[in-house]
Structure 1
Amino acid sequence: MSFIANYEQNFEEWDYITGDVYKNMSIAVDRYDYLYNIDDENGLKIALRDPSNNFWTKWIGFPGLLWANNLDKFGSSTGGLTAAIDVHRSVLKNEIIIESDYQTYEKNYDAAKLIGKIIEGKGFQPLYYYSGNKSVHIHVFFDWNCLKKLDPMIQDQLRIIFRDSKLRFKRKFMEWIRTKMITCWDTNAKKFDTDLIKGTHLIRCELSKNKQGYKTFLGYTYKDMSFVPYICNEKNRIYPKLGKIRLSSPNNIQELIEEFIESIRVKKKSERIRKRNQTLGNWGVEAPPEKIRECVKSILSEDFKKAGDGFQRGMFILLNELRRVLGDSQARIVINDWNAKMDFPLKEQEIEYRFKKKIYTLTCSYIHKFLKEVGIDILEKCKEKV
């Protein structure tokens, strides 16, 4: 097993990772310093992977195997950095990671652009990384200081809901905001790794080796991403880059927290109703729209390409649902991406014209009937009232 590069077995790999600290070109040093700086508050866990056989070490506290202590011939202890090859780290408590892992880099590039437009449009400042193979990683570091801008009444609501437990609030909020981002704000317009929602999985550490190259920083906006993989490895001697962490917050934290509080209320109400084995209809209330309905998600899927002449009506249904749930700004991003995915059946002018019209709330029965006409049967998985 080879978790650490060995200069006798593979000098080229060892030399590349060790690098030259005087030229600021040392993966071992830069990666260690980066992890050292983020370890202070988070109790960082790391594990090493052997690229040759996919074996793993146990999760242990930093620095783990990144630092080795040895005895010299005089019995004195000496320590130093190791040339670890593929390091994985735990997710920080204020970190959201969106991993796009489609079969090709091109698809991951497109998916990262879409979610990048959405989260940047909301005011967040992500860091974009190429994983070193085909994936794209998007890191967002939430700035807790933005909560100081909240209206005192909203702050009081949070104290009551979480019983003055900041830790509990932060944990629940981070799971919620990770879910929102990873699901493209409940649209599932693209598929991202949902295992990262709870923040309990490891992620490939910055400057660590993957199949084609080392994980490297691409930029602070989706516009900085390269449409071809930016490969850094010992063969081409291009060194991977680190992005400086930028704390991030939305343009309207008040609105975001209100949405978070509302989601808690809806969830609690649903749980109470389920326990009593009653439907919302028995209570005489309707649940507010939290997410895109399953039948509408069928229009977002690749299966809808076979709809033939159904694109106009499909766009009408999809656009009204997206506008109702997401608002015009985010709906426009998703609808344009959907149009591109469907090979541009609709002209841009048609889409913009529809945005000027009023928003309609369409029944599931209407949507189901349409989907059946175009050959898509979703009754089995649609849980909405028909």
Structure 2
Amino acid sequence: MRTQVGIIGAGPAGLLLSHLLARAGIDSVVLEARSRDYVERRVRAGVLEHPTVELLREVGLAERLDREGMPHDGISLRFDGGDHRIDFADLVGRGITVYGQQEVVKDLIAARLRDGGDLRFEVSDVTLDGLADAPVIGFTDADGQRQELRCDAVAGCDGFHGISRGTFEPQMFDREYPYAWLGILAKAAPTQHELAYANHPRGFALYSMRSPEITRLYLQVPPDTDAGAWSDARIWDELGVRLAADGFTLNEGPLIEKSVTGMRSVVAEPMRHGRLFLAGDAAHIVPPTGAKGMNLAIADVRVLAEALTDYLRRGDESGVDAYSDTCLRRVWRAEHFSWWMTSMLHVSPDTDPFARRLQLSQLHYTVTSRAAATSLAENYVGLPHGENR
């Protein structure tokens, strides 16, 4: 087989890249190890930055997002028994939208299939060769047949555990955090409109939502926590303690999902090896506190789509040559913001009274200084694409 761009991974990054390339007249084939049903049901992030929403609207992918997404104009920071709202609309004039990653994936798959896109699910034994100048992707298709896909470029959008990054040896920057998140999806209507981030002496908690009927909540726990060791009643009791605030009520309901997610920061440099270009989690991981993971992936492929279009249609290699450096400027800004939010809101096992006072001082400053609140708001809602500070 022959195509212009071989894309490994049918998450938001790979699917959106295929869509953007198709709009520019560039052919691609998307290969995915999981089934279509699995990737459409896989629950991940739910916060879309303002630039992400604008891009999806620009390329005709926001009809259901605009109908079902939940726009938010701020978040709350809870600590010392008080609730403090960060007003995005007032501070920076834009906000975020809550819309599940799996919903973005459903929209992208439907659009690609409607437009004749080549999506191949349940492939296995993927190999990469000839990355210096003539890439070849080998794989076994869903029918058990061995195939070869020859292409001009490969986009590695196959996540942190995919094969793409393992084909070369980038420099790895890595930080492990001494805590994890116990997350639940509950069939319970949200009792407030916006997200609440809570710093409590017993640990961090996050109040979020996925729809008018479903809430998404998290508790800080040790990294080795077994989700099954936490009963539903214990989870609800602990959420009630950590999220407590005047006038706030916690609506309980049956749990749809319960899992533990580790916390780490990872960056691979460079994000390019020959004709292989990494995007999204294949190149970088952020702790979920700053809601940056999916948004960074989308920013990556926006840059990559433009670079590959210039290269494949006009022979201009300046964009592909600058791809890694361009993306990494934005990646490191998001890494810093995610680290800062995480450090400010979580209680580490080694937090002593001095460190605790510093943490509370930072929180008080953030909610009382317009300059500090504006910085949080600007980073949270997303820097405009093209501003890789």
Shorter-chain TM band: under 0.3
What is the TM-score with the length of structure 2 in the denominator?
Answer: 0.23
What is the TM-score with the length of structure 1 in the denominator?
Answer: 0.23
Greater strand proportion: 2
Greater gyration radius:
1
